[in-house]
Amino acid sequence: KASSPRTASAQIALRTPSPRAMAKQDPVEKNVRALAADGRCYFSYADIASAVSRAVPEVQAFAPDVFVAIGGGGFIPARMLRTEVKKPILAVSLELYDDATKTANEKVLLKQWFDETPGTFGALVRGKRALIIDEVDDTRVTLQYAVETLKEQNAPAAIGVLVVHNKLKSKKGMLPDDVTYIAGENVPDAWNCYPWDAQAYGHDIYGHEKLARECSGGVKRKPEDEAPTSEEKKRREEPAAA
């Protein structure tokens, strides 16, 4: 029988990432984005969808059996990904940042996990391949907590992590070398504002999208970093010639 999910908050014992892990998970290239007048970087729904779509080939190579979306930031990216990679989505809720104070807590708070009742999506994790999804890799503390909890509680055969944005900065948390790490876009260390949080920053969605367009004006991407066209996606799915 699966062990009961951990319900109490836990303090993570942070470790220094190994050189190998740093090389795999902390690339130096980033897309250049402008900042708004308030010093924040705004992303549109189109920006999010494009970054998720660019990550699809790496996700397909990892071959997950199930997605584990971290709420609330990972829910919408997970649903976007499911359009191209048809896998079930499990929802968990972890909290590092206090919405009231907009500051980081001293420890990650576990608000919701899943059980492994037969016949539910939770039963698809043990011994299978699970992909954790979140919107941003900032300090990496939340991702470390999610990976450790998933390993301890649900024992998947393999774990991958997908983030829409990886901030290029020193990380407090770390991920084991056996975790597959995927980032849709590597970005500078700025305060990211996402469209689902528009009202939290005093904007309606139209005002937010306008700021996102201004911020994206400085983006420079290589052709290979662009989201694939429908024709390119079709070619990827076609079997290679013998």
**CA pair distance 10, 67, nearest whole angstrom:** 23
Active site residue 138: yes
- Residue 122: Cβ within 10 Å count: 20
**CA pair distance 82, 77, nearest whole angstrom:** 9
Helices (H), the chain: 19-25, 45-62, 75-84, 141-154, 205-216, 230-237
**CA pair distance 140, 136, nearest whole angstrom:** 9
| Catalytic option among 134, 138, 177, 225 | 138
**CA pair distance 70, 95, nearest whole angstrom:** 9
Asked if residue 26 lies in contact with residue 171, where contact means CB atoms within 8 angstroms, the answer is: yes
**CA pair distance 196, 199, nearest whole angstrom:** 8
Three-state secondary-structure class, residue 181: strand
Active site (catalytic) residues: 138
